[in-house]
Amino acid sequence: MDFSRLELSEQDQAFLGELRAFLGAQVTDEVIRRDRETGENFDEGVHLALGAAGYLAADWTAEADGGFTAVQRRIWELEIGRAHTPWFHWGTTALVATFVARFASEELREEVLPGVLSGEIRLCLGYTEPEGGSDVATCKTKAVRDDDGSAWTVNGAKMFTSNAHNSRYVFLLTNTDPGGPKHRNLTLFLVPLATAGIEIQGIRTVDGDRTNIVYYSDVRVDDRCRIGEVNGGWTVMRAALQAEHGVAEVDSAGLQRLATMTEQALLTAEALDAVAAVAAAPDAGGRRRIEDASVAYRLGRSAARLEAALSTPGMFGRVAIAATMREIAPDMMDVLGAAAALPVETEGAAADGAAEYVFRLAGPTGIYGGTLEVFRNMIAQQVLGLPRPVYSPPR
């Protein structure tokens, strides 16, 4: 690991200045307040502005094809997080767009990709079902093909289709051979969400996020919306899951791509700074909490753990970030005392509710995009070469 400081070139310094000014103008207090109220993690005005300024295209495009350089990408990822930009869902749109580019027909690519890069078209992921998400191959949402092969009828339900209500298409995993072998009976479609028979219902999670349950009742889907082969969805899924899990995110130039969920870690770092400031300030009796050795120890340990998590790339970083958030959020709450339980913008809230929010955010951060347990198994099997876990009791 190389911890040396990177000197920014004049060009990179200019890029940083422009980006900061842009985000400062777009991500206003009003945008942040609205995002907190709605839990959408999305703001159409900001998203379209990012598209119009070319940032979405530069982020999605590989460096060799004119996208961000490795240093620009690092600046971009850090600044977008620091500005509290409501845009977690760009990751999903960018991921699905990658698979459209790779597996969809030319006609569908042309229909979708320019709008993705301009910000007008958003894409969401429809894998998880009400009965389970980790084992996506147990998919029960059925797609039945017409006799002439030109269209399909879809029936089923998908849980946690985040940002569906702001998206034009869903990347939908269906079962096209219910009696067939697992992993060889799945087909993916890019389904227009305006199609008759689709109903989107909002759900709020414990951290205030808005996600959705989406019902599909006799939804007619043209065969040209199919992504990949019939019953070949697992091949597409494997590539998609690997990218979502950060396996494919390594760049050259000595700078590894930051782990997914780095934005959540940056919010945690801000909260920890706010908690440390409260602990260092004298109370009405002139006493400083930090003078209590256990407080100093817990804050110091939290800062060190967070720094280590932020410096860990790929899927290891994904696990380190979520696990660290879950472990240090209770420490932050304890250091602040009872007033830590009050949320942001509430009178009397300690550190303006920063720790309270991170406490609620830490749980879901270890679930969406794959749970911590599932990631740990992937690291064990794919990186350490360990065998598949056996969950049955020993004989």
- The residue among 122 and 298 lying less far from ligand FAD, judged by its C-beta, is 122
User: Does residue 370 belong to the site contacting ligand FAD (CB under 6 A)?
Assistant: yes
Which of 91, 115, 330, 364 contacts ligand FAD by CB under 6 A?
Answer: 364
* DSSP tag of 201: E
Write down the least CB distance from residue 324 to ligand FAD, Å: 17
Sequence-ordered list of residues with C-beta below 8 angstroms from that of 106, at least 6 positions apart, any chain = none
The site for ligand FAD, by CB under 6 A, has a size of 23
Report d(CA 95, CA 4) in Å as an integer. 31
112 burial level (CB within 10 Å; 0-12, 13-18, 19+): buried
Query: Given the rule CB under 6 A, which of 93-101, 224-232, 245-253, 360-368 is the region that contacts ligand FAD?
Result: 360-368
Q: Exactly one of 17, 24, 45, 132 binds ligand FAD (CB under 6 A); which one? A: 132
Taking the least distance from each CB to ligand FAD, the nearer of 20 and 360 is 360
Residues 53-112 within binding reach of ligand FAD (CB under 6 A): none
Looking at beta carbons only, is 211 or 324 nearer to ligand FAD?
211
Pair of tokens at residue 143: 């797609």
Name which of 95, 87, 77, 90 is nearest 246 in CA terms. Answer: 95
Cβ pair 132, 140 in contact under 8 A: no
Residue in the structure block whose two tokens are 């790339």: 313
Nearer to ligand FAD, 22 or 316 (CB): 316
Rounded distance between C-alpha atoms, residue 125 and residue 119, angstroms? 17
Name the residue number minimizing CB distance to ligand FAD: 133
Return the residue of 51, 133, 156, 208 that touches ligand FAD, per CB under 6 A.
133
Q: Among residues 134, 201, 294, 382, which is the contact residue for ligand FAD, using CB under 6 A? A: 134
Which of 49, 125, 269, 274 binds ligand FAD (CB under 6 A)? It is: 125
Q: Which of 157, 151, 155, 148 is nearest to 221 (CA)?
A: 151
* Measured distance CA(362)–CA(89) in Å, rounded: 18
202, two tokens: 């909002």
| 153-192 residues near ligand FAD, rule: CB under 6 A | 160-162
Instruction: Give dist(CA 308, CA 1) in Å, integer.
Output: 11
In this complex, which beta carbon is closest to ligand FAD, that of residue 162 or of residue 187?
162
Which residue reads 């997080």 in tokens? 81
Q: Taking the complex as a whole, how short is the minimal distance between the CB of residue 373 and ligand FAD, in angstroms?
A: 3
CB of 133 to ligand FAD, least distance (A): 2
The C-alpha atoms of residue 258 and residue 59 are separated, in whole angstroms, by 13
**Residue selected from 68, 90, 127, 357 as contacting ligand FAD according to rule CB under 6 A:** 127
> How far apart, in whole angstroms, are the C-alpha atoms of residue 266 and residue 12?
21
- Shortest spacing between CB 232 and ligand FAD, in angstroms: 19
Q: Binding string, 141-160, against ligand FAD, x = CB under 6 A?
A: -------------------x
Per-residue binding string, ligand FAD, 197-236, x by CB under 6 A, is --------x---x-x-------------------------
Closest separation between CB of residue 395 and ligand FAD, Å?
20
- CA dist 243 and 80 (Å) reads 21
Q: Are 245 and 91 in contact (CB under 8 A)?
A: no
- Using the rule CB under 6 A, is 42 a contact of ligand FAD? no
- Interaction pattern, residues 371-390, with ligand FAD; x per rule: CB under 6 A: x-xx--x-------------
Three-state SS sequence of 58-122: HHHCCHHHCCCCHHHHHHHHHHHHHCCCCCCCHHHHHHHHHHHHHHCCHHHHHHHHHHHHHCCCC
Site for ligand FAD, rule CB under 6 A: 124-128, 132-134, 160-162, 205, 209, 211, 364, 367-371, 373-374, 377
